[in-house]
Amino acid sequence: MVAHTPDLVLRPARPDDAEAIAVLWHQGWRDGHAGHVPAELYRHRRLADFRDRVPPRLPATTVGTLGARVVGFVTVSDDEVEQVYVAGPARGTGVADTLLTTGERAVAERFDIAWLAVAVGNTRARRFYARRGWHDAAALDYRAEAGTGGPDRGATTVTVACRRYEKRVR
């Protein structure tokens, strides 16, 4: 049974949240991806890299806060729930459920089906999404950003073996 966090506040991310999001994303990425992605990608996943990756995503990001502390965030890009990360101490409290629901609703404003990519070896995330009604739709060679600028702005990418999860959201 998932606990709930009644004091959780959701709000649009602001520029002053950028550092907290970068630190949380960096830590969460390492927790979920260590040993599950090509070694080449690690040199592009330093804290400084996440600091560069956060600002362009702020308009599409919702943060969850407890008091003044950012404890999680969700970022949506078109029909993709691109990022969902929760601070270690807040895992299992319902924060991830709330953030994922927020991401699903954002996608549902424009699309019928949401999707997300999960590294093949990230079993914790795969179990979480399955419990939330997402289904494993296919293998996916995900083009992960490597360097600055993003894949649509000339940055290089590293291919990561993932599973594409989907969910009908409207």
CA–CA separation, 20 vs 51, rounded Å? Answer: 9
**pLDDT at residue 2 greater than cutoff 90:** no
Residue 2 maps to a domain: no
CATH number, domain of 122, equals: 3.40.630.30
Residue-averaged pLDDT of the chain: 93
- Residue 1 domain-assigned (yes or no): no
Q: Is 50 helix (H, G, I), strand (E, B) or coil?
A: helix
Which amino acid makes up residue 70? V
Number of domains in the chain: 1
Give CA–CA dist 83/30, Å, rounded: 14
Average pLDDT over residues 120-134: 97
List strand residue ranges (DSSP E) for 29-105, in order: 61-66, 69-77, 80-86
What is the Cα–Cα distance from 81 to 97, expressed in whole angstroms?
13
Q: Are 167 and 104 in contact (CB under 8 A)?
A: yes
Q: How far apart are CA 170 and CA 164, in angstroms?
A: 19
Residue 3 lies in a domain: no
Q: 111-125 pLDDT, tens per residue?
A: 999 999 999 999 999
Q: What is the pTM of this model?
A: 0.92
State which residues form the domain around 25.
9-168
